[in-house]
Homo-oligomer: A and B are copies of this chain.
Amino acid sequence: MTGETEETIFTWGAPPLKFGAGAADEIGFDLRQYDVHRVLVVTDPGVAATGIPQRVSENLKRFGIAAELYDRAHVEPTDESLVQAADAAADRGPWDGFVAVGGGSAIDTAKAVNLLTSRPGRLMDHVNKPVGAALPPDGPLAPLVAVPTTAGTGSESTAMCILDVLSMKVKTGISHWRLRPAMAVVDPLLTLGLPPEVTAAAGMDVVCHALESYTARSYTDFPRKQPEQRVTYCGSNPVSDLWCEKALALIAGSLRRAVHDGSTDLQARSDMMLAATFAGMGFGNAGVHLPHANAYPVAGMVTDHFPPGYPSDEPMVPHGQAVSLTAPEAFRFTYPAAPDRHLRAAELLAPGHGSTDDAERLPAALTALMRDIGMPNGIGAVGFGEGDVPQLVEGTMKQQRLLATSPREVDEESAARVLTGSISIW
């Protein structure tokens, strides 16, 4: 690339943050700053069963805000579930604000509901190309306060809404800065009751957010863009780097403790909540790559995995499991493209645990962590064999938007090698 065509500019954005034990009790005050009086609280059935969204709603009333609950957000949102949620919201509206309480599914559903009830237009108008028309919202949305109940997704920080478009069997998203929550309220007390299996899987999502965006292709390695061509995911950059580095350091000190002593170790829960939010502040601007691209077909093609700690009514690979199961092999593949970054990430994730082979340090750090917190041993452990690899590769290669951020070019052959090498990890 010549000097004239190299990119010199990066962009970065994050919501205002209120963090700490008890932060979720103040949301009514924060929403009143935006002159909000009637709020829809969006959550999913599992989170609703904890009573947390109801407590948040009650607290809103203390500040003179009328609040109603929508508790049918679909885990892993689809185009149908988002339209259904938006229609239900419109029927009971109008709303001048939204609160999302839950994991990525609830928060992403609230983002879509906010978009579709605040502005004219239909869902597919806004979905990323080539699936949708990628039209920007034509003006401001209502204020959305995002309240994560897991230390995982980081969706409270990002300007993305991820969905499955059922008719096309593809995972894609809506991506625009106006989707970013008006505020992220991150209260570690909300996570004390999470089962160890959920803590572990969500934690591995944080690990992969931080590792993938830290090793993502640099923003300077993309061709120079015109202002109207700039995208939310601009590649790794000095700002996303600092969030990811700190997230990895927090994970190193707290993920094992949060999994094994999560009902009492508030410090570990607090550090993991910070790590999840920090990783969101990073990857939400830099982007993720191969492990996330692999996760979509792995989660989408599951037929008979019923993980403990999750609802047992349908087979599933939790997102945090799906992203991590191919991560050690993926980072083995991307290592030659950015050895220094892989080494630094390994040092942050497993300080002082040197391996004799530099290329193995990050896969080794990841594998040790995954074993310690009870992750399945590869995609074989969630039901996939060598015969499934070609179809998985097809799904991975559909994620061109993510693969574009990989530091090393991914073709069908290399994707197949990574997936085959991930059938069993240790």
- Which residues of chain A have a CB within 8 Å of any CB of chain B? 7-14, 16-23, 26, 29-30, 33, 35, 136, 139, 177, 227-228, 237-239, 242-243, 246, 274, 278
Contact = CB atoms under 8 A, between A and B. Distances in A.
Contacts of A14: 14
Number of copies: 2
A12 B139 CA distance: 25
Nearest to A281: B239
Q: Among the interface residues A22, A227, A238, A246, which one has the most CB atoms of the partner chain B within 10 A?
A: A227
Contact of A9 (B22, B136, B246): B22
Given A11-B17, A17-B13, A20-B10, A30 B139 contact: no
Given A13-B16, A139-B35, A8 B22 contact: yes
A18 B9 contact: yes
A11 B22 contact: no
Contacts of A11: 16-19
A29 B228 contact: yes
Nearest to A239: B17
B243 A242 contact: yes
B16 A274 contact: no
B16 A10 contact: no
A325 to B, nearest CB: 30
A16 B10 CA distance: 11
A242 B247 CA distance: 10
Contacts of A238: 19, 246, 274
A8 B14 CA distance: 22
**Chain A interface, >50% SS class:** mixed
A11 B187 CA distance: 12
B274 A26 contact: no
A18 B285 CA distance: 12
Contact of A20 (B9, B19, B23): B9
B227 A30 contact: yes
A12 B16 contact: yes
Nearest to A271: B238
6 contacts: A7-B20, A9-B18, A11-B18, A16-B177, A238-B246, A242-B246
Contacts of A278: 242
A246 B8 CA distance: 20
A361 B22 CA distance: 38
A320 B185 CA distance: 35
A21 B9 contact: yes
Contacts of A9: 18-23, 26
A214 to B, nearest CB: 14
A7 B23 CA distance: 11
Pairs A-B, 8 closest by C-beta atoms:
A9-B20, A29-B227, A13-B16, A26-B227, A8-B21, A8-B20, A12-B17, A242-B246
Contacts of A242: 242-243, 246, 278
A136 B35 CA distance: 13
